[in-house]
Copies of this chain bind each other. A is one copy, B any other.
Amino acid sequence: MDRGRLESFSDGVFAVAITLLALNLTVAGPGHGRLLNLLGHSWPAFAAYVVSFFTIGVIWVNHRSLFSGLARVDRVLLFLNLLLLLFMVAIPFTTATLSDYLRRGGENAHIAAALYGLVMTGMGISFALIFNWAIRRGLMIETMTKKARRDAQLRFGLGMVVYIIATGVSFLSAPAALVCYGAVAAYYVLEHTPAGPTAPSD
């Protein structure tokens, strides 16, 4: 099976999910006081929007990098990819919940931040499953050296570990957890190691 429609369907889901994030950007209409104040009070929505936007963006960049190394896909990979999308598509929901509860603090903010982290962790696990399945089944164009494989696993693993830690941090401070989530996205944006064996010239 070639990967054409797998990529175009996934690109569509990524595109819709990243755009739906912006549906959470709203302010009350006229009659609710000064717009400048309303916008100021919405800072959690803007912060969560930027973090989630670049998080989905990074997943897309890594997805593109990983899948460009696939010679073929099998039925299991299609469903592992759906599992990844299941979590990814839930990000606008967890983002909205987090930004609704972030400013108030207290137990609800902790729960909202932990929910966000759980979905991110599920997404990270799905990504790792896809990667390991592709390696084990020999779906990649080139066989990776043991070292290259371990490096890639380390890179994916690092994000997952931070997501799990940040989920724990949520119960201490929701804003601190959001900073952690943003740091993972920033890390993947800034680091330049190619994700797959087929992109040595990035």
Interface residues, chain A, with chain B CB atoms under 8 Å away: 1, 5-9, 11-23, 25-27, 29-30, 34-36, 39, 49-50, 53-54, 57, 60-61, 64, 68, 74-75, 78-79, 82, 85-86, 89-90, 92-93, 96-97, 100-101, 104, 107-108, 111-112, 115, 189, 192, 194, 199, 202
Closest 9 CB pairs of A and B: A12-B15, A16-B19, A25-B93, A35-B108, A57-B82, A9-B11, A35-B111, A13-B15, A29-B100
Give the complex CA separation of A8 and B14 in angstroms.
11
Q: Which of A17, A75, A192 has the most CB of B within 10 A?
A: A75
| Interface class of chain A by DSSP | helix
B53 near A86 with CB under 8 A, answer yes
Give the complex CA separation of A115 and B75 in angstroms.
30
- 9 A-B pairs with CB atoms under 8 Å apart are A1-B68, A5-B7, A5-B64, A8-B8, A20-B22, A35-B101, A35-B112, A75-B194, A75-B202
On chain B, the residues within 8 Å of A202 by CB distance are 1, 74-75
A79 near B11 with CB under 8 A, answer no
On chain B, the residues within 8 Å of A194 by CB distance are 75
Tell me whether A9 and B5 are in contact in the complex, defined as CB-CB below 8 angstroms, given that A19-B20, A75-B61, A75-B202 are known contacts: no
A79 near B108 with CB under 8 A, answer no
On chain B, the residues within 8 Å of A108 by CB distance are 30, 34-35
Tell me whether A22 and B92 are in contact in the complex, defined as CB-CB below 8 angstroms, given that A53-B82, A100-B30 are known contacts: yes
Closest to A22 in B: B89
Give the complex CA separation of A75 and B12 in angstroms.
20
On chain B, the residues within 8 Å of A1 by CB distance are 68, 199, 202
On chain B, the residues within 8 Å of A96 by CB distance are 26
Which of the residues B11, B30, B74, B86 comes within 8 Å of A101, measured between beta carbons? B30
Give the complex CA separation of A68 and B3 in angstroms.
11
A107 near B25 with CB under 8 A, answer no
A22 near B90 with CB under 8 A, answer yes
